[in-house]
Amino acid sequence: MSRPDRQRSVCPHDCPSVCALEVEVLNKSTIGRVYGAKNHSYTQGVICAKVSRYADRVHHPDRLLTPLKRVGQKRVGVAHDPADFVPVSWDEALDTIAQKFEQIRQTEGSEAIWPFHYAGTMGLVQRDGLDRFRRAYATSQQHSTYCVALSDAGFKAGTGVKRGSDTRLMSKSELIVVWGGNPVSTQVNVMHHVAHARRHNNARFVVVDPYRTKTADKADLHLMLKPGTDGALACAVMHVLFEEGYADHGYMAQHTDRAEDFRAHLATRTPEWAASITGLPVQKILEFARLYGSTRKTFLRIGYGFTRSRNGAVNMHAVSCLPAVTGAWRHEGGGALYGNSDIYKLDKALITGADIHCDARVIDQSRIGHALTGNESDLQGGPPIKALFVQNTNPAVVAPDTRRVLAGLAREDLFTVVHEQFMTETAQLADFVLPATMFLEHDDIYTASGHTHLQVGRQLIDAPGECRSNHVVLQGLARRLGLEHQGFDLSAREIIATMLSSSNLPDFDTLVESGGIDCKPDSFQEANFHNGFQTPDKRFHFAPDWTTVGSHVEGLPEFPDHWAVIDAASKTCPLRLVTAPARQFLNTSFSETASSRRMEKQPLALIHVDDIKRYALHDGEPVTLGNELGEVTLLVKQFDGVQPGTVVVESLWPNKDFIGGLGINTLVSSEPGKPAGGAVYHDTAVWVKAAV
């Protein structure tokens, strides 16, 4: 039997790996299995299981296939009732939406309309076209804060730029530290590179994470600290590096600021001090510090998780200081990688409309609950939000402060349009639901954070039913609203071709055939900042000027520290909650897919046995977690992979999968982190009790 035709593509999901794929195309509308591209130097044939089963998602029986118009009432907390919607034609849907937008613009002003999006696809055309629409229509703009606002600020505070060591050089590393990530579950390729280094180079592997993840299970050393205390651990490690002779003073004299002041600052940040904050044994902190200090080629793979905290930017900056103290940047296989987004020099104006002047207000997306319920500070003196147009995200589940978000979405006077692949809980509250394509059904171009390739993905199969891409829907709306910009006139393929050409890059077909282009810096020395960091004085900053990465700098410490602004455990709320990603889901994507749901089973609160006893809970039975924002009920699982006082709920399950219908972000505050905003998903104090 002949092998099915395999076509190249790119994983579009919100994951740093941006894997190069080979997709079995069975006929013009059907795919088979999905594989990692073997000849891609980063992917190396390895992809996660959920994407290898992508046929389950593309051909899911619950895909939205026609535009739908609401005829029933908006109701929160009830199962979806198909009778609430009737199918309509695309023309009727887009004509009505455009008329309604215009009516709102004329009566309330264009800022009363808020197009809202995030990273359901990471393809630049289909993700960021909404930026162009916002600017062209002068609607409320969006400050995107779900994911990287805190981590970007923290990393750039020291280095001045978001880029770092090449993951492929892990093959030369002698020590790999994954700090605040769980690549076995969320970025499996990293583990492939770790395994290679262990096998061929006898590399040691360390994980820093508040719970024993599947990645931590594989580590030689796991530092299982309390959530939000990473800055303290990093400071104590650097204290030891200075005090025990592991610091590279020559490197610091050439490449960093204020090394001696920093050393003096760290004098009191001893392992004993950090032990009292992190809950880690002093010996373990010493063991890690000495291992890091005595190894030349240390590769620090910095994740996002530990930065989603009120002190997250400070913690990220503290961790990013380690290789600057030891000079690990000097070595191939040494240094650090948080993300590589800044290596790409693309002119994206055709997509984003960056060339359109727009001074409309900018609203923090993590504050959507407050914005929709009329919080004056979030509305900044402007009109209330009267229309919401959502692509690529599911705020009813993803955004912090779920109860407030649902109250906003349920407003009968809010005109909501959701362009989606499935009837999500956000779509259930929409006035119009529009069926969206998946990545194999449209063209797009992809940069990466975890590697250095620029890749394109072609449309490989026909879209089912009447699904349309984000770009095509925006074109249809722009035409009806009279919006003018070249990006609305060109097809996705033409936008990509023009963008590649204006950025002096190979053309679309060449990128498809070659599997993408490696945009890595010219040399290892360049990648590892041997010619200077990207700060004004070219030095890594131990004492950053926080105003260069955000405007809310009040109280941020001068040097790395434990910044005690977290939602600390208290008498009322004695546990600290971590809402880590589940292996078979990716944010809310895949939570609709039968195979992923089967493997994840149900939402669980992972709680230490001491806490099970202390709070008279029973393994496997329902418990309620709560704080001033609300209550969430789910089953408890006894778990010795956390410190007492920490509870982990792997997510993101839809609200409806929790007993009582409210999901885990009910408990998460929408208070923005400093200095540039950012959702604080892992910075929540809660109480627990057996559910009645």
| 47 near ligand SF4, judged by CB under 6 A | yes
Nearest distance in Å: CB 19, ligand SF4: 3
Contact pattern from residue 551 through residue 590 relative to ligand SF4, giving x for each residue in contact according to CB under 6 A and a dash for the rest: -----------------------------------x----
Q: How far is the CB of 54 from ligand SF4 (least distance, A)?
A: 9
Residue of 8, 9, 13, 155 interacting with ligand SF4 (CB under 6 A): 13
Cβ atoms of 236 and 269 within 8 Å: the answer is yes
Min. distance of Cβ 121 from ligand SF4 in angstroms? 11
Using the rule CB under 6 A, is 301 a contact of ligand SF4? no
Helix residue ranges per DSSP H, 70-175: 90-108, 124-137, 149-159
Residue 409: partners with Cβ closer than 8 Å, 6 or more residues away: 74, 76, 372, 388, 395, 396, 416, 426, 429
Spatial neighbors of 263 by CB under 8 A, at least 6 apart, are 242, 247
User: Could you give the strand order of the β-sheet that contains 517-518, starting from the edge strand earlier in sequence?
Assistant: 444-446, 453-457, 517-518
Contact flag: residue 19 with ligand SF4 (CB under 6 A): yes
Smaller CB distance to ligand SF4: residue 54 or 658? Answer: 54
122 sits near ligand SF4 (criterion: CB under 6 A): no
Residue 370 CA: distances (Å) to CA of 297, 378, 399, 686: 47, 7, 11, 21
Based on the shown chain and the rule CB under 6 A, indicate whether residue 147 belongs to the binding site for ligand SF4: no
Taking Cα atoms as reference points, which of 441, 435, 422, 459 lies closest to residue 594?
422
Q: 48 or 328, CB closer to ligand SF4?
A: 48
Q: How far apart are CA 115 and CA 437, in angstroms?
A: 19
Q: How far is the CB of 215 from ligand SF4 (least distance, A)?
A: 13
Question: Considering the rule CB under 6 A, would residue 17 count as an interface residue with ligand SF4?
Answer: yes
The answer to whether 676 contacts ligand SF4 (rule: CB under 6 A) is no
Cβ distance to ligand SF4 smaller for residue 48 or 495: 48
The smaller minimum CB distance to ligand SF4, of residues 121 and 643, is found at: 121
Q: Is 115 helix (H, G, I), strand (E, B) or coil?
A: strand
Distance CA 274, CA 229 (A): 8
Cβ distance to ligand SF4 smaller for residue 19 or 405:
19
Which positions from 171 through 200 interact with ligand SF4, judged by CB under 6 A? 187-188
What's the rounded Cα separation, in Å, for the pair 573 and 557? 27
Which segment (43-51, 286-294, 383-391, 602-610) binds ligand SF4 by CB under 6 A? 43-51
Residues in the chain: 692
With respect to ligand SF4, which residue has the nearer C-beta, 43 or 373?
43
Question: Which is nearer to ligand SF4, 187 or 669 (by Cβ)?
Answer: 187
**Which of 25, 37, 51, 219 contacts ligand SF4 by CB under 6 A?**
51
* Residue number with CB closer to ligand SF4 (187 or 426): 187
* Total binding residues toward ligand SF4, as defined by CB under 6 A: 12
Give the torsion sign (CA, 171, 176, 179, 180): positive
CA distances from residue 207 to 217, 227, 307, 650 in whole angstroms, order as listed: 9, 14, 15, 18
Rounded least distance, CB 17 to ligand SF4, Å: 4
The distance of closest approach from Cβ of residue 147 to ligand SF4 in the complex, given in angstroms and rounded to an integer, is: 14
Contact call for residue 396 and ligand SF4 (CB under 6 A): no
Residue closer to ligand SF4 by CB (options 42, 114) is 42
User: Can residue 48 be called a binding residue for ligand SF4 (CB under 6 A)?
Assistant: yes
Closest contact distance (angstroms) between CB of 31 and ligand SF4 is: 14
Between 38 and 538, CB nearer to ligand SF4: 38
Where residue 327 falls (left for φ over 0; alpha for ψ -120 to 50; beta otherwise) is left
Tell me how far, at minimum, the Cβ of 183 lies from ligand SF4, in Å.
9
CA–CA separation, 533 and 320 (whole Å): 13
The DSSP bridge partners found for residue 178 are 207, 301
Q: Pick between residue 10 and residue 429 the one whose CB is nearest to ligand SF4.
A: 10
Torsion, Cα of 123, 125, 127, 133 (10° steps): 170
Please give the sequence-ordered ranges of beta strands (E in DSSP) within 503-629, or none if there are none: 517-518, 575-578, 604-607, 622-627
CB-wise, 15 or 625, nearer to ligand SF4?
15
Contact at 8 Å (CB) between 183 and 217?
no
Minimal distance, residue 12 CB to ligand SF4, in Å: 8
Beta carbons of 414 and 303 less than 8 angstroms apart? no
For helices 259-266 and 230-243, the axis angle rounded to 10 degrees is: 110
- Give ∠ CA 565-571-574 in degrees, rounded to 5: 70
> SS3 for 513-544, per residue?
HHCCEECCCCCHHHHCCCCCCCCCCCCECCCC
Shortest distance, CB of residue 51 to ligand SF4, whole angstroms?
4
> Mask 583-602, x = binds ligand SF4 (CB under 6 A)?
---x----------------
Please give the sequence-ordered ranges of beta strands (E in DSSP) within 156-259, or none if there are none: 175-179, 204-208, 221-223
Fill in the amino acid letter for 578. V
Q: Which of 8, 11, 185, 367 binds ligand SF4 (CB under 6 A)?
A: 11
E strand map for 437-548:
444-446, 453-457, 517-518
Which of the stretches 7-15, 220-228, 271-279, 468-476 binds ligand SF4 when contact is defined by CB under 6 A?
7-15
Which among 11-19, 96-104, 332-340, 503-511 is the span making contact with ligand SF4, rule CB under 6 A?
Answer: 11-19
Does residue 324 interact with ligand SF4 by CB under 6 A?
Answer: no
Q: Which of 13, 391, 313 is nearest to 149 (CA)?
A: 313
Residue 554 CB: number of other CB atoms within 10 A? 8
- Residue 18 engages ligand SF4 in binding (rule: CB under 6 A): yes
User: 449 or 643, CB closer to ligand SF4?
Assistant: 449
Question: Minimal distance in Å, beta carbon 174 to ligand SF4?
Answer: 26
Residues that bind ligand SF4 (CB under 6 A): 11, 13, 15, 17-19, 47-48, 51, 187-188, 586
